[in-house]
Structure 1
């Protein structure tokens, strides 16, 4: 390696020693050229394991531009030409694929470590170490800027699960270094291999969990609960279709039932997409694009459920406050309702996916089909609107009850026309009575979503078991 890499600069054995002080300073005492030694001062590295990997990264940038292949028992060192694309299979342990390279012919250095997983800690961004390095550590050092690289690792222990694509970040934990998943995403996990896609190059590997908790009883409860919910919603829609002609004459009743139909329809479609997303998440072969699509529609229709409840509450408030005014026409209120019920969720869901999907931070790690929390906090795009609507609806409920208690209907002939108010109040009480369970369900649904942040495989929307549509 010494003669092939540095034929003119080095005429003596290569020894690299670095002394680290308590103040995290780095001083070089080495027989390597001054240019190589200068890299020791570029970054403050406190961990000896991290500094070892950093030394290999430095060496990979100093190898002369020529094809090179040095296989050993523990390290495979290769340097190859890099043209328009690159594909390489290294010891059948790691496969590297770079579909496109900009610029003229250059070189790429690949160093494959057979035992670096025994040297580097499993520390992650949050300073946790609950996972295990379950693939070879591969150092990829091209002479060109690469923003699309796919690595396929052969897993070491096939009893582990929940793979996570990571790279070694020397800056984590105040210079100690750690594994980070920023810019990397899981492509698939099948046939004892894990494929990752990243938008940069450095030292890569995969982390996997020694405990893959899966309870068939919880899965059974989840699907039975969702089935009960969907069956109840279908019955609700059938009843609405039967009585639809009878409620079209009264404007308030018509608009109220439009809200009820759209609430039931949004929840039914969200349940269907939930089942699709659960099937994608549980599949052995992961499909991130399909999981992203399922997450988008789940997010959109659950938001539509809440925004239609908001539209129903605003209708209740409007009809309670403006009893005698001509006010808005039925068509105008329908337009406002549909814009609020579907327009606002569409805007929120679209902005969320547009902001987080390019950085692979839209869905959860391991291709769990729900909004990401750890990296991008995309889950807030659901929790914040849902909680705000619940609070607004409770405020509307208080205002309506206050107006109803203060309203008085006189017995005089001059006030006989106000008997119509009793009809409005009757419908208001009916709507109010039917909206209270929807508030409870709103809190329950938000709680379930928050719970999914911690245990996405065990919570699994168990609230569907206890929910029978309030309609």
Structure 2
């Protein structure tokens, strides 16, 4: 094929400079040859009106790579390479590099990706060139800036003293974005270097403004998405900022130190998408056959803003901002409705748990390992939901929010631990377990409270600075801290799922045995019903109690309907526990029945208690009427003793009896020193 316009012009200029290049123009042995080749390359670029072709870009990338490897010390062949020439060489180097990584060449980089690793090869060549020439670039000045439309390089020579200030570098303003990309070495880190015996440093900072479009055309950046609540669907990760680098040198040798970076967001998203920034750097040692890849080790987000993000990294290299893009699954109205539903559900759940606990204590449910486990689960889950309802009120106070986060972590972990104990207890009832009740309860307490305390304590000790999320009182999902909750929860759910399967198998087996005892005519119909109910009943009862409804959390990102279902199933978990442990619990119902029967028996005893009457006592509510019996009265026929003795009839009217009720007693004359005691019973209708 015919050479491109740029290549023809480059060959023409090279022939004119052949005496300088020597007999081997393909090799670059000294800085003088590098200067000539870079000079004619810049001239060819300026004189050529046509765009660069892919083969031109490959040649220029190779030229930059060869030039960056040339020794910087003057040699016999480069005695005339003064410091001004070195600065000119650096300027030409940056100009050639700028022409290659221009946004106009984005598609051409795709065409040559089989030959050249990518635009970061140019960045690597610039790093090597500036590092090699840094001492000569600052030989006559302490500060040098080399700039092109897409690249800005700053070399700064700094002497360290007791009052040395930090170093800061910013890229230029652009037409599209007014904010600046900046990188700085904090004052304290410069002071630490001085205290460690460093007295002179060279800082090399570089800004690349056109790499984002070039790298965005590559395959999607592979990163694990941030854990979300299901309101967004992860789409992918893209480069979302310019690339900025910093290198600290001592005697041309790199020195590792911490840096702070502020990067502007260079990507515009639609209204139905959102992004989450991740601080990263280009690691040339990661996938070296591909020229490196993005790495996030040692970098973290300090603060996020609408237009920019501040990062902090514990080393120096080429940094950028990766944006994890999410598609919004729910409207603001749905988000608000879900928040309100969660608050209402937690309130109802808390009331249900409170009523259940009161019933367990008030009605005198017989003490057993099962009721003890129930009480602990109710207590842990109740405190956790109370803290969850109050967590939003402490979000503004960082100290209070941190404490609430730790308590939420503890009590939710305790809730799931006691759900695990519920599963183990159920397993011990279904499968024979040779362990005494006392030893079993000690083990349950260790699992229910000991493990949560241990998990929270270890998590706080290992990652206290990364423990809490940025804007709400819960564990940070940006780091591995969230696995201190998610990991144990997954384990509990898996174990309880196995327990539930075992319970279903046992109940189905029991239903089969029952069906075989029926007559053949009704066995088939009853067997189908029993099997269906044997599977359905334990699932309906045990799913919320064992916490298995939390498995729905992995599906909430698929549909807003599933999100509502997840909220209803879990925020109303206390209500389910109230129904299972209180309303439909035979022990509680029997205890309430015994209380009712006891009260009824006491009421009957009070109604049937005998009342004594003595003649000497006066009852204001009783009237005494004495009359002589008539011959026809029944009392005359019941006389005892001689007929000459007189008999008196005493009629008692008691106001506590019914109005029409009269009780008659026969009184006989007795000796004066005898006492008469009358005993009467209230009518049965009192």
TM-score bracket, normalised by the shorter chain, equals 0.5 to 0.7
**Residue among 120, 124, 147 paired with 1:54:** 124
1:234 deviates by 1.6
Deviations 1:442-462 (A, max 9, x none): 3331331x347x789998786
**Residue among 174, 178, 181 paired with 1:93:** 181
Q: Secondary structure at the match of 1:70?
A: strand
1:12 deviates by 5.6
User: Are residues 299 and 29 of structure 1, via their aligned partners in 2, closer, same or farther at CA, if it must alter by over 3 Å?
Assistant: same
1:231 matched to 2:338? The reply is no
1:202 deviates by 0.8
- Report the aligned-residue RMSD: 5.1
1:89 deviates by 4.4
**The structure with more radius of gyration:** 2
Q: Secondary structure at the match of 2:363?
A: helix
**Residue among 442, 445, 449 paired with 1:342:** 449
**Residue among 243, 251, 257 paired with 2:374:** 257
Q: Secondary structure at the match of 1:308?
A: helix
User: Are residues 303 and 141 of structure 1, via their aligned partners in 2, closer, same or farther at CA, if it must alter by over 3 Å?
Assistant: same
8 Å contact 2:380–2:411 — kept in the other structure? no
User: Are residues 264 and 118 of structure 1, via their aligned partners in 2, closer, same or farther at CA, if it must alter by over 3 Å?
Assistant: closer
Looking at structure 2, the residues matched to 306 and 457 of structure 1 have their Cα atoms a distance apart, in angstroms, of 26
**Residue among 295, 307, 315 paired with 2:417:** 307
Looking at structure 1, the residues matched to 500 and 478 of structure 2 have their Cα atoms a distance apart, in angstroms, of 28
The match for 2:296 is: 181
1:209 deviates by 5.6
Higher relative CO (CA 8 A, sep ≥ 6), structure 1 or 2?
1
Looking at structure 1, the residues matched to 66 and 320 of structure 2 have their Cα atoms a distance apart, in angstroms, of 30
1:79 matched to 2:156? The reply is yes
8 Å contact 2:373–2:421 — kept in the other structure? no
Q: Secondary structure at the match of 1:33?
A: coil
Query: 5+ residue gaps in structure 1?
Result: 1-8, 37-43, 281-286, 408-430
8 Å contact 1:273–1:298 — kept in the other structure? no
1:446 matched to 2:551? The reply is yes
Query: 5+ residue gaps in structure 2?
Result: 1-29, 42-54, 74-113, 172-179, 225-234, 514-536, 578-686
Looking at structure 1, the residues matched to 486 and 356 of structure 2 have their Cα atoms a distance apart, in angstroms, of 34
> TM-score by structure 2 length?
0.49
* Matching of residues 250-399 of structure 1 within 5 Å: 250-252=367-369, 254-262=371-379, 264-265=381-382, 267-269=384-386, 271-272=388-389, 300-318=410-428, 327-329=436-438, 335-351=442-458, 357=463, 372=477, 378=483, 381-394=487-500, 397=503
User: Are residues 354 and 451 of structure 1, via their aligned partners in 2, closer, same or farther at CA, if it must alter by over 3 Å?
Assistant: farther
User: Are residues 132 and 316 of structure 1, via their aligned partners in 2, closer, same or farther at CA, if it must alter by over 3 Å?
Assistant: closer
1:64 matched to 2:135? The reply is yes
Looking at structure 2, the residues matched to 358 and 250 of structure 1 have their Cα atoms a distance apart, in angstroms, of 41
Looking at structure 1, the residues matched to 357 and 449 of structure 2 have their Cα atoms a distance apart, in angstroms, of 21
User: Are residues 185 and 199 of structure 1, via their aligned partners in 2, closer, same or farther at CA, if it must alter by over 3 Å?
Assistant: same
1:61 deviates by 2.2
8 Å contact 2:242–2:320 — kept in the other structure? yes
1:206 matched to 2:316? The reply is no
8 Å contact 1:276–1:294 — kept in the other structure? no
Deviations 1:251-292 (A, max 9, x none): 346414313413532651574488689x79xxxxxx9x9998
8 Å contact 2:208–2:243 — kept in the other structure? yes
8 Å contact 1:93–1:154 — kept in the other structure? yes
Deviations 1:391-417 (A, max 9, x none): 35326635875998999xxxxxxxxxx
Q: How many residues align?
A: 415
